[in-house]
Structure 1
Amino acid sequence: MTLVAVFASIGRTGLLKNSQIEFNFAGQVTMKHALASLTFHLEGEAGPYYQQLIDQVKAGIRLQRLNPGDKLPSSRQLSVSLGVSRSTVARAYDSLLAEGFLVSEAKRGLFVATSAQYLLNVAQAPRRDQPMERPPILTCDSGADTATFPARDWAASMRRSWLNPDLKVLEGAYSDGFPPLKDAIADYLYRVRGVSCTADQVFVTSGNRDALGVLQHALDAGLAANAHWLLENPSYTPMRALLSNRASGLGSLKVDAEGARLPPRSESPQVAIITPNRQYPLGISMSPARRQAWLQAVQEAPSLWLIEDDYDNEFIYQGRMGVPLMQADTRDRCFLVGSFSKVLFRGLRLGFVVVPPGEIDRFRASQQALGASASLPIQPVLADFMRHGRFDRHLNRMRRHYRMKRDQLLALLTDHLTPWLDWQAPHGGMHIRVMLKPDWLAARASARWDHQIADALADNNLRLDVLSDHYATPEIGEQGFLLGFSNPPEATMSRVVRALADWFERQPG
């Protein structure tokens, strides 16, 4: 029989332009078939290619352009014709085989299953016991772009690290972290961030929340007992929620153009959590004068402790990375908190704390008392990944990748939102802070307009990170949004920006 496949333009691959290809397949087919005609059209912004192929084969079955017993082209033929990898076509075929829409016959190929139409009808029939699926929520997330993660390199590290596993890992030892990983982190911090520390000062955690929990326990049990804790305003909202239950209350450090301001000097213990190299959510770097003022305060204050959150500082696109304050601290009052989730992938849930030499025993006791929450079996994998240079190569690659995506988002903002929003190109990080223009706000009644805009767009399955939510008191501070560029594809960024522009254009005046 003859199966004619008409291939239209393929979007970004652009290998075939409205060409028609005819496939002739030898072999006997037990049923009589009419000529089958099916069109594949792959669009670069319409989702993964393999999913597009799956959807189009199912559409061909539904429209009876593919009938039971019709033979499909081989994965090699179809991949060459479409200009995509063979594994893409094979993945689509494997899924259709698993769902029962196709059947495979030895030495003959793939055919449409006799039950394909029935399966399609069953799949499309509404079920009373299941809610209707909602379309995916669109958002400009500032997480890692996992589509570019070097899975093969990671798999190689997994194989190597578990060929002859450390028995103490299997026994759940190493409560403060896998020793080779602690060594690798200390080496990385020295080479890249300029921090001189020993592996004993490094404690592996399950991320920032775990790190803050152990730090609270350790400081409350030590010299900072009954301390007044201070957090930047604005700040990362989950951190404020985590610390809000402190008996002594949670104070605020106002952030201006130079970074977090110093608190009034106090004879009582104080613990300040600051982000000097890249403040979240404002994205500014602390000025040299303000950095020196904080370091001087640590030297002179009777009991001031600093927790330095090294948030997404691996990604710098202009200039050099700032050296953490901890490196210049001579009183051993600074703790450095870092995370791998932003750098590699969110599900990794591994981070670290670098503690002053005099606090090693106290911090270790607190971590053991609370119970280590960082996954130990994955730590040898990360250690191997770092030891073989793959971590450094991945960071270098992602810096270039994220800079390109930052520039894409900046171009979209310039093209569509200039009349209503202000922003600056960030020198680093994974998001852009956009603010409602003061004259636009001044022409309207006082309100949290960024919240109103976000609520309006949420009805269209679009979620925005509202800037005013990050302030301790909503009436203080700027109004606007945090638009991440690291995770979403350009198509998603474009839809979010255009949705914002559409909302503004519909407003009177």
Structure 2
Amino acid sequence: MKYAVGSLRFSLDEDGAPYYQQLITQIQQGIVSGKLSVGDKLPSTRFLAESLGVSRSTTSRAYDQLLAEGVLISKEKRGVFVSSLPMVGRRKPFSDDKKAIQSKRQCQQANKLSFDAGVDVSVFPTKEWAASMRRSWLNPDLDLLQGGYPTGYPDLKEAIVDYLYRVRGLECTAEQVVVTAGNRDSLILLQHAITSLLEFQPSETAEKRAVTWWLESPTYPPMREVLSPKNNIHNIAIDEDGPCLPKDTAMNVGIITPNRQYPLGTNISSKRRQEWLKKLQQSSSAWWLVEDDYDNEFVYQGRSDVPFMQTASIHETARDRVFFVGSFSKVMFRGLRLGFIVAPLKHVDLVRQSQVNLGSSSSLPIQPVVADFMLQGSFDRHINRMRRHYRIKRDFLLALLDDKLSEWFDWGKPRGGMHILIEFKTDVLSAFPEIRLDARIASELRLRNVCFLTLSSHYIEQPSPRQGFLLGFSGASEFTMSKMIDELENWLRNSL
């Protein structure tokens, strides 16, 4: 199935990704390559669907997502055009040169089988989203059109405040919220802000002015790429109580995921939480925390723990030393590229100034759409539906593991999140003391177009103390999960 628009030729592969995703990719690539220019008109969804021989819902879904991202713009009674807005932020792109991340991207690009801890976009409420798009742009805010609201669209900030209080138990004000282009953008912004603050504090020696950044180990590998190479970076060990307190240095900033650590899934204990709070409360201490609220929207048993920022809010000194970072990518869709920072009131201006210095990367036109989606109740309904949907997927994968892999791996039943961690039994690893077994298996299975994400690749220190695989169930189909577990079982039976 082929169709041409100017010099851009659409082509749909029946064996490739879903048709709407293929269309999205081809339009984006057409803009990047210059085959589509700003102001170029695209065919109507009906005409394109008839030309390609697909349903109109397919072309509408592709256009809706690109409209939501600001790549395309709809003009009443005229049609859909390529927007003058950039498709990506203005900041320097990240360099993911780690082997594990390269392998993950190669798997995605080649449509190989892989576990996916992302959003299941096949059940995204596109009609409700389209309705929010129409409502929010029928009578747009003039300040929005002129590029105002540098820290975020006011209605969206109010909706975030309401959501954080109802769902996460975090009390804050709209003044404290700074809208960003996602978690990485938030961390770059905070790195600039906190470093600026600490480096200019009076101290006796230049050594004392140096800022030490602490990352959990294991952690999400690109997190290490976010921090500037000139930074002094150390590891935070993780035990059964959560992130351990590191040894003091002059000035410290810790980036932690206390309520659901990635990738281990552990929760900070009450005892460890109090230890961190005591350290933050000490006036002589120079400790600061960035709390990444990773994976806490989807809890299947009980409620998620209260954010660390809320616990610190009742302490006069600690409340000024904790920043909270959240994102919509895990709850809506990856292409949204929208997140937020909740800053202590004392340092809101500092974060704002850093945003001015770095330039804002978040898409302003999409923010009133998200605000409407939240204020109309569509966001809450979507979260509740996805919570049930992902719980069913989690239970399906747990049944597969019980049936196929209990001979080689141990795992727990996660009460939340979007992946299951399986770790090799001690006797299995002891038989292969000189190799990274998970890396070897992943490498060999990749030759069969089956991609596994290894636990060892998430450790900063090597050799890693633990080995296994991260099995993302939220974005993977039941067929994919069954096929991959079968492949892994076959390899283990034939090779060990």
User: What SS class does the counterpart of residue 270 from structure 1 fall into?
Assistant: strand
Residue 312 of structure 1 aligns to which amino acid in structure 2? D
Work out whether 1:233 is the aligned partner of 2:217.
Answer: yes
Structure 2 residue aligned with 1:309: 292
C-alpha change, 1:95 and 1:333, in structure 2 (3 Å) is same
Structure 2 residue aligned with 1:121: none
Which of 316, 320, 323 matches 2:303? 320
Q: Count how many residue pairs are aligned between Structure 1 and Structure 2.
A: 389
1:444 positional shift = 2.5
1:179 positional shift = 0.8
Structure 1 residue aligned with 2:259: 277
C-alpha change, 1:434 and 1:167, in structure 2 (3 Å) is same
Which of 470, 478, 490 matches 1:490? 478
Structure 1 residue aligned with 2:144: 169
C-alpha change, 1:49 and 1:174, in structure 2 (3 Å) is closer
Match runs of 1:3-402 below 5 Å: 95-96=52-53, 136-223=111-198, 226-243=210-227, 245-247=229-231, 249-266=232-249, 268-300=250-282, 301-329=284-312, 330=315, 331=317, 332-402=320-390
Structure 2 residue aligned with 1:461: 449
Residue 257 of structure 1 aligns to which amino acid in structure 2? E
User: Structure 1 CA distance, aligned partners of 2:461 and 2:258?
Assistant: 22
User: What SS class does the counterpart of residue 322 from structure 1 fall into?
Assistant: coil
Q: Please list the CA deviations of residues 163-216 of structure 1 after superposition, one character each: whole Å capped at 9, or x if unmatched.
A: 000111111111111111011101111111111111010000001110011101
User: Structure 1 CA distance, aligned partners of 2:169 and 2:158?
Assistant: 15
User: What SS class does the counterpart of residue 245 from structure 2 fall into?
Assistant: coil
Residues 281, 482 of structure 1: 8 Å contact kept = yes
Structure 2 residue aligned with 1:448: 436
Work out whether 1:472 is the aligned partner of 2:429.
Answer: no
Residues 16, 111 of structure 2: 8 Å contact kept = no
Structure 2 residue aligned with 1:41: none
Q: Please list the CA deviations of residues 309-336 of structure 1 after superposition, one character each: whole Å capped at 9, or x if unmatched.
A: 0001011111211111111212211000
User: Structure 1 CA distance, aligned partners of 2:244 and 2:356?
Assistant: 35
1:96 positional shift = 3.1
Residue 199 of structure 1 aligns to which amino acid in structure 2? A
Q: Please list the CA deviations of residues 62-115 of structure 1 after superposition, one character each: whole Å capped at 9, or x if unmatched.
A: xxxxxxxxxxxxxxxxxxxxxxxxxxxx999763389xxxxxxxxxxxxxxxxx
Work out whether 1:502 is the aligned partner of 2:490.
Answer: yes
Residues 224, 269 of structure 1: 8 Å contact kept = no
User: What SS class does the counterpart of residue 498 from structure 1 fall into?
Assistant: helix
User: Structure 2 CA distance, aligned partners of 1:194 and 1:441?
Assistant: 42
C-alpha change, 1:359 and 1:437, in structure 2 (3 Å) is same
Which of 410, 415, 428 matches 1:427? 415
Q: Please list the CA deviations of residues 35-69 of structure 1 after superposition, one character each: whole Å capped at 9, or x if unmatched.
A: xxxxxxxxxx9997999xxxxxxxxxxxxxxxxxx
Larger Rg: 1
Deviates more, 1:336-345 or 1:472-481: 472-481
1:244 positional shift = 5.4
Residue 275 of structure 1 aligns to which amino acid in structure 2? T
C-alpha change, 1:227 and 1:458, in structure 2 (3 Å) is same
Q: Please list the CA deviations of residues 280-332 of structure 1 after superposition, one character each: whole Å capped at 9, or x if unmatched.
A: 01011111111111111110152110000000101111121111111121221
User: What SS class does the counterpart of residue 157 from structure 2 fall into?
Assistant: helix
1:240 positional shift = 1.2
Structure 2 residue aligned with 1:120: none
1:380 positional shift = 0.3
Listed as ranges, the gaps of 5+ residues in structure 1 are 1-44, 52-89, 99-133
User: Structure 2 CA distance, aligned partners of 1:259 and 1:335?
Assistant: 18
User: Structure 2 CA distance, aligned partners of 1:424 and 1:241?
Assistant: 30
TM-score, with length taken from structure 2:
0.75
Residue 300 of structure 2 aligns to which amino acid in structure 1? Y
User: Structure 1 CA distance, aligned partners of 2:413 and 2:214?
Assistant: 29
User: Structure 1 CA distance, aligned partners of 2:16 and 2:189?
Assistant: 45
User: Structure 2 CA distance, aligned partners of 1:349 and 1:485?
Assistant: 22
User: Structure 1 CA distance, aligned partners of 2:20 and 2:324?
Assistant: 43
Percent same amino acid at aligned positions?
53
Structure 2 residue aligned with 1:105: none
Work out whether 1:481 is the aligned partner of 2:465.
Answer: no
Structure 2 residue aligned with 1:416: 404
Residue 323 of structure 1 aligns to which amino acid in structure 2? V
User: Structure 2 CA distance, aligned partners of 1:299 and 1:246?
Assistant: 28
Q: Please list the CA deviations of residues 247-277 of structure 1 after superposition, one character each: whole Å capped at 9, or x if unmatched.
A: 4x201110001100001234x1110011110
1:396 positional shift = 0.8
Structure 1 residue aligned with 2:427: 439
TM-score, with length taken from structure 1:
0.73
